[in-house]
Chains A and B, each alone.
Chain A
Amino acid sequence: MIGLRDLWGGYLRIGVSGPQPERLVNLIWIKRLNLWDLQAEEDGLSFCISVSDLKVVRRLQRQSGCQISILEKHGARFPRQKLVRKRTPIIAALIFLISVYVVTGFVWTVELDGGGGLPRNVLLDAISEMGIFPGAWKGSVDLQRVERGLLIRFSQLAWAGIRVEGTRVIVQLVERVQIPDEMVPTGDLVADADGIIDKIMVFRGQAMVEPGDTVTSGQVLVARAEHEGAQAVVQARVWYEAYAEASRVREDRLLTGRVEDAWMMVLGDRVVHLGGPESPPYTTWEEDRTSWVLGRGRKSPLPVEFIKLRYYEIYTRREVLGVDRAREEALRQAREQVLSRVMPEARVIDLVSQVVHETENVVGVRVLVEVAREIGQHRPAEQSEGG
């Protein structure tokens, strides 16, 4: 019977041939060796034994005068042996993998991204001093320390980020944006429109209004400090108004489906009519012109041009809109007008519409939109002093 020992150590099916194969079986039995799955074969017997018993069985075989052959090999021993036999390629593969790991453990290149205002070699030298240079062991590089070091050493930098991609180290740098002096506000903050103050948040200067105050365009909201311009966020409710009219009679130009083609050839200044109507065949029409110039694409195309004019007959359909539809149309137009004037960052609080004009032919609508938006506008210092 197969035991775990045999499965691990391996077992063999042995074929026995000769005058009396049972003799070998009995010799094995006398030696107290394990034997199992014995069966008759065409030329003798076959049975299974442990690999460890093979030597003894071979000795007994000589004694018995039989011939034995190994028919099958089973158990974990044989794949193990194969592996051992293939040791060289496995070791080579391992050495290769280890080499790849070791080689890719080093920094091969250091790339700079950004930091254009600073000399490249100065930056690379600084990075190298901090431990990142071609040939450095990646494991020993402290990215965060280098990032901090760069920001400390170069005050022009606003941000530094370092990442490792394989054997590449990519250093990303963002330079501090220097605001030009002329961009720095120096005067007061004034209202750019009429409105009611909602919120006011002063960073520099002195607030001249408070939430709930009604202000008019140009009114000082925050006065500048002694040497510095006013800086604040002032949000107010502002109203926009628009008026639009919509005609109640709508005319649509539609195709009747009738089409005529006319052909012409242009030779220099002369136009030669080749076929089709010489003038538009319909009272109302639209035309589509297609032309071909001979030799187009050449350096000097021939002065011959063929023209195809296609006339489409048109008819006008008049439609009298209901009051509601005309009002909707006018409202849509008025709303578009007013919203096109409102800044995108403004928040629409309320929208009121009113029909102010209505006749048989025309409907007029007025729209009033209330928005909340930033109304502070910097005024140069000279004007502030003057005002």
Chain B
Amino acid sequence: MTDKLFDNFIKERLQNYQSPVPQGLWEKIIAEDERKPKAIWWWNNKTLGLAMLLLLSIAGGGYWMLHSSEKKPLIAGNEKPPVNSIDASNTMYNKVTEQQNQNKYSNTDNNTSKALHRNGNKNEIQNLKDKLSVSTEAVIQKSSPDNATETNLSSTDKAGFMVSGKPGMFKANNYNNASSHNYSGKKTASYSSLNLLGEVFAENDFMLSSNKIGNGTTVLNPFKLEFTNPNVNAKTVQPFFRIDDCPTTRGIFRNDFYVEGYASPDFAFKNVTSTKSGNDSYLQKKDSSETMRLGFTVGARFSKSLTNNLLLKAGLQYSQFNEKLTLRTENERKLVITVLTHYIIRPGQPDSAVNDTSYTMYIGYRVRTNINRYKNLELPIMLSYEMGKPESKWKFAVNAGAIVNLTSWYDGKTFDSENNLVSVSSKGNNGFYQHKIGLSLYGSISVFRSITDEIDVFAEPYFRYGLSNSMQSTGGFGQKFNVAGLQLGARLRLSKNKHL
């Protein structure tokens, strides 16, 4: 019968043959079909989920920093604006009424400039200081509307204040900063310099709104800000504090945010220790049979400057330690018996035979080799202290931190106490290797070389010290990995320094 006929025969017999479906299978299929789709595999893994959340937070923070620095509004002169206003909390509107005879007014040039001292109401102000969110209303009674064109408000009040208003919360300078609280007449006031969320606004960018109260008194409400500059409005006021935008005397401060990509050849050192007595010979055999080979690490991390020199780095990396198993086991024994018979022939006498017997034992060994792979998904977190002038092409850094193992899996073979080769995989490593190795300490030195303003390349020799055991307790021995390697990579600066 030819192959073709044979194939046809099998096909005809089996193509339409039907086997009975096991009971309950349809129910299983329907249940499986109705089951909600599985979440992304790492979603169920809390550690990995947290790691991803951390990474996303850092990335999001970096993105926000980048965009907030790039889109800083340019403040231009005094144009007649459409008025945007942020109204302070109307519900907490405390009046500080000051009598005209308690105020000091100073005249400048031909104008009647008046300085309003609020010392007379210290008690009330103290009350205000006790409240985080407060609105203050300064009352100016103008004796002559025509000659009251400029008024300087000064105060000895040391209270800073917070203003609550939509769309978010923003922070203003201390109220007692007299130079920053000039307000002009026409029943409004302009702030010459008000640091709002760290942004320095030009003079007359916004005004204090004014209200009239019953007796004809004009009331200036410093917490109802009316923006007179179209570039400065409620939308440009970011709803978060920017802690890194504090003014410094240095004139420039580092606000770098990098993304780094790297790869590294690694060499792992395995440290095996016995956790139960009686397995010394096994560990000795294991030690002589397993040798570590070159592995590798690839990863990416974000890096954010905390100060001019200090950076926080976090990312995600994959590392693989390779190991060669060479198991030499006795395969066969062959006993060769050699019998050498010597015949002695003498004339006239019968021949005599002499047997010479020798035994030779041949032992055959079988050598089996396999490459074992320890694979890890990890979260490196570290602090980096960077040295070198900003304009310098070369920079150096010292890094220290930890590598958190998110998950590990294994693919390879090992041998049991009777020298039988046993396959161990991440699926079948029942009671053998841990899926989460835990922590490693990390230390390294980096050398950076600037390629462009935005891109640096770096080399980073490192050493990581394994703190945790990769074996499960049932294994009878402990196994830790220490790794030395050289990371080579590049970093891209996503944000720029801020100039004040």
- Does chain A bind chain B? no
